[in-house]
Amino acid sequence: MTIELGGKHLINGNWIGTDRTFQSSPATGSSQTFFVGTPQSVDQAAEAAEAAFWSYGYSTSDVRSVFLTTIADRLEARRPAIVALGSDETGLPTGRLEGELSRTTGQLRLFAQHILQGAYLDYRFDGALPERTPVPRPEIKMIQRPIGPVAVFGASNFPLAFSVAGGDTAAALAAGCPVVVKGHSGHPGTSELVAGAILEAIQACDLHPGVFSLVQGGQRDVGERLVDHPLIKAVGFTGSLAGGRALFNRCARRAEPIPFFGELGSLNPMFVCKSALETRAEDIAAGWVTSLTLGAGQFCTNPGVVILPNENAAEQFYAKAMDTLSAIQPQIMLSETIAQAYQDGIAEIANLSNIDPLFTPVCSGRQASPQLYRTNYQGWVTHAALQHEIFGPFGLIVTVDSTDEMVEIARNLDGQLTCTLHFDSDDQPLIQRLLPILERKAGRILANGFPTGVEVVDSMVHGGPYPASTNFGHTSVGTLSIRRFLRPVCYQNMPTVALI
């Protein structure tokens, strides 16, 4: 399937241009021209979303379920074009994007089924007690209601699953909230193709066209206007700590502060206990390297740090890790900016004291080669920079001389999306010390596995204490993510017939 791109914004059902353009920077193929978003574009999209809310926000779950399913169907119809252009723009292999598109459509269909069951509304009822003394009790009902228009920022590393029709958009639409997406400039063509599929679904379902808008590119003023706009009632974001924190602060400074659901990155540390290291050092090392380098390390759950005992078996771990790394070819990164940030992060680490380079091939241009460094407990506690995520295939091994040092590292971690424990039965006493600590540090804790890969299921939590995310009480993956865009409303003595 070939679909011609117009390079325009989708606002209130119309493809519109602005007075400025930018050129895309694809990993392969020719660059294309796209219109730059403006604060005025944001205003138009937000106003259209508010207008749509008065019908869409009060639509039935059946209507929204059909809409979500229709979006999934229209995306599938565009699969060849989306995958091909997505690979050209990002450098991600087509197989990876095939899987990501399936994840995206699967998520839409999961949410479509979930809202039909009604449990997400958390309906509660307390009947009236007119005979109660000394004061009668009124009838009280409670239900979750959609909050209004939601802003979503497209992610660089997931052009499908965390961008235009990804998790935040799907959750907001499932809840009954219109969405305004700020497209990521790293994959604007892919964003346009996905937005076109959503427009087809809007038309097929005869919905208000303001239920979804896409504003492409733009400078910082576009993102700032989006989070500042008084009609926007919540923001979903996946990206860097610096960018996310700046937007989070703006949301808090508004005359009406709004929730900012930001996923800002994570080290995703792995703790390898003594017995597990002695019995499975090579297997754990090989699995870690595979997870570390998946997608050029550009996963938010990339396990960048491993903590293990300074035992003889650690030498087997180092050797296997370096041997596995040596077989991995350089991989293209999502953008030149991300590639440069990766190289700058490596340079900062290499200049620190008490840091040993183990595997350090040269990186050049947009190509990323995996890197492996080692330090000890003292090096870890001395250098705060080691707790800063390096986005890419960068691995750091931290050796400890005692279980107390391993526990202390866990105790002083920042918030994480994931923490992983590798252990055997003999390691149970240490696990009993670590697990209560890690429950306070991460949203997901793995046993004897690797964290890349986030299942879209009811029980998944993709979030964690700050700075992994800005709201530790929620998740950006799984059906619970819909609850972010709802708020409880209580009705006292309200006849059921009066409720929409």
DSSP letters, 61-81, are HHHHHHHHHHHHHHHHHTHHH
300 is catalytic: yes
CA 330, 333, 339, 341 torsion-angle sign: negative
Q: Tokens representing 140? A: 């009280």
Catalytic residue among 100, 192, 263, 405: 263
Closest CA to 202 of 108, 64, 47: 64
Q: Across the strands, what pairs with 198?
A: none
177 is catalytic: no
Token pair 């006493």 is found at 429
Three-class SS state of 136:
coil
125 φ, ψ (degrees, to nearest 5):
-145, 130
Distance of CA 170 to the CA centre of its chain: 13
d(CA 324, CA 346): 20
Q: Across the strands, what pairs with 144?
A: 488
Cβ-based burial of 41 (10 A; exposed 0-12, middle 13-18, buried ≥19): buried
Alpha-carbon torsion, ordered 268, 274, 275, 277, to 10 deg = 60
Token pair 């590798």 is found at 422
d(CA 42, CA 35): 13
Catalytic residue among 273, 300, 363, 419: 300
DSSP state for residue 155 in the 8-state scheme: P
CA 204, 45, 49, 79 torsion-angle sign: positive
Long-range contacts of range 322-325, CB-CB < 8 Å, 24 or more positions apart? 322/358, 322/359, 322/372, 324/285, 324/286, 324/289, 324/290, 325/289, 325/293, 325/359, 325/370, 325/372
Kindly list the catalytic residues.
263, 300
